[in-house]
């Protein structure tokens, strides 16, 4: 691709930093998944969706860590950067990253709907959000993401992937934003009844923090994709593109931030993490 000349040198991030963020994010999110699976007190729809979100973050961390290892091996001459098998493997890693992103959005939507039902249909919540329906929703989410990942491997096209990414990202922001506004408007009408629910407000605030962190970490990367398509020859755009590695670091940091939010907002998860790390009999 033809790029514009720019006085902005590309900002390079050391490979060990990429690798460290990927490994730590992988460990943290795997810990969340194990905690939710093993602790029966966490077997509720909201924590199942949080577990799904952590699992998708685990996939993203694994994909980026493996990709960084490939770059290291290619740098020392152990891999051919342009080899057919290496290219296919790189496509698989990119597809897993796409799967993680789409799955994270779907998980956020599921958590948002769950919080909506919890707050505004509290008396019917356990009849509406049964564990069987939760499992069915998760099955649909993971099946859809898996099919999309396979299609991306089979019909990999950079411009098409970028366009779909951007459109899906923007539509998702609008949908979840509209749900937030609707929940806020209803909350003002039913303020006293909602105040009587001790856990609903906490869950809604946790979702807000999680989604806010997601937007902050992923938005610069998507702005980078938009700039690539809109102004590839503009020197000012080239200056922004020179920060690409920092955008990737921010993207990968999302997997580090989410578990910290879970632990900070949930006493039960903190207790489970403590018992797991100390190898105590937490059952």
At 35-44, the pLDDT tens digits run 899 888 888 8
Q: Which burial class, exposed, middle or buried, applies to 197 when counting CB atoms under 10 A from its CB (0-12, 13-18, 19+)? A: middle
Percent of the chain whose pLDDT exceeds 90: 9
51, 98, 195, 247 from 47: Cα distances, Å: 6, 23, 22, 29
Q: How does pLDDT run across 109-133, given as a tens digit for each residue?
A: 888 888 888 877 878 888 999 999 9
Fold of 15-278: Rhopdopsin 7-helix transmembrane proteins (1.20.1070)
* pTM, two decimal places: 0.81
CA 17 – CA 266 distance, rounded (Å): 29
Distances (CA, A) of 35 to 41, 48, 114, 262, 269: 10, 11, 20, 11, 7
pLDDT digits 0-9 by tens, 179-230? 877 777 776 676 665 555 555 556 567 777 877 888 888 888 888 888 878 8
C-alpha dihedral sign at 190, 192, 195, 196: negative
Instruction: pLDDT band for 78, please (50, 70, 90 cuts).
Output: low
Q: Which helix (H) or strand (E) holds 191?
A: helix 191-195
19-29 residue pLDDT tens: 888 888 888 89
Arithmetic mean of pLDDT over the chain: 80
Dig out the tokens for 165 from the structure: 């990414």
């Amino acid at each position: 691709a033809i790029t514009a000349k720019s006085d902005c040198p590309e900002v390079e991030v050391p490979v060990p930093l990429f690798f460290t963020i990927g490994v730590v994010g992988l460990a943290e999110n795997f810990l969340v998944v194990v905690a939710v699976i093993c602790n029966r007190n966490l077997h509720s729809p909201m924590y199942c969706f949080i577990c799904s979100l952590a699992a998708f973050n685990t996939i993203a961390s694994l994909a980026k860590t493996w990709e960084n290892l490939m770059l290291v091996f290619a740098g020392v001459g152990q891999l051919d950067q342009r080899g057919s098998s290496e290219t296919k493997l790189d496509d698989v890693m990119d597809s897993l990253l796409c799967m993680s992103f789409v799955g994270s959005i779907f998980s956020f939507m599921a958590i948002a709907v769950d919080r909506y039902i919890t707050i505004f249909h509290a008396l019917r919540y356990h009849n509406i959000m049964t564990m069987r329906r939760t499992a069915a929703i998760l099955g649909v989410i993971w099946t859809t993401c898996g099919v999309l990942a396979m299609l991306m491997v089979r019909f990999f096209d950079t411009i098409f992937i970028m366009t779909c990414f951007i459109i899906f990202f923007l539509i998702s922001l609008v949908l979840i934003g509209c749900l937030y506004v609707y929940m806020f408007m209803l909350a003002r009408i039913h303020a006293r009844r909602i105040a009587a629910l001790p856990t609903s407000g906490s869950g809604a605030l946790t979702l807000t923090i999680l989604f806010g962190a997601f937007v902050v970490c992923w938005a610069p990367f998507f702005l980078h994709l938009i700039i690539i398509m809109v102004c590839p020859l503009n020197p000012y755009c080239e200056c922004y593109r020179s920060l690409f590695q920092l955008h990737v670091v921010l993207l990968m940091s999302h997997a580090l931030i989410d578990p910290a939010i879970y632990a900070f907002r949930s006493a039960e998860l903190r207790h489970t993490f403590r018992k797991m790390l100390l190898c105590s009999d937490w059952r």
